[in-house]
Amino acid sequence: MDLDLAFKKLIMKQANYQSGNLGLNLLISRLQSRYASKPTQEELENSLQEMRAFFAKYDSILQKDIEMLKKL
């Protein structure tokens, strides 16, 4: 998925993004906290998987966010 790089940047706090979607903002915050407390490659992969699943499930309502994240 071409969004993986943007997801990694978000999870590792190398980029900031504020969505109009509360669920996405909460997910980003939770994954950032989880990764910060355990910064391993395994945790990063788990977080990426969760982010991908969220975007796959809510693809239709996250189109604006997807376009913005591609620019990160």
Query: Average pLDDT for consecutive 10-residue bins of the chain (72 residues)?
Result: 89 96 98 97 98 96 94 88
Domain count, the chain: 1
Model pTM score: 0.91
DSSP letters spanning 32-68: HHHHHHS--HHHHHHHHHHHHHHHHHTGGG-HHHHHH
pLDDT for residue 72: 86
pLDDT for residue 1: 56
| Amino acid code (one letter) for 31 | L
Buried b / exposed e along 29-52 (16+ C-beta atoms within 10 A): eebeebbeeeeeeebbebbbebbe
pLDDT for residue 2: 78
Range of the domain at 26: 4-69
Q: How far is the C-alpha of 16 from the C-alpha of 18, rounded, in Å? A: 7
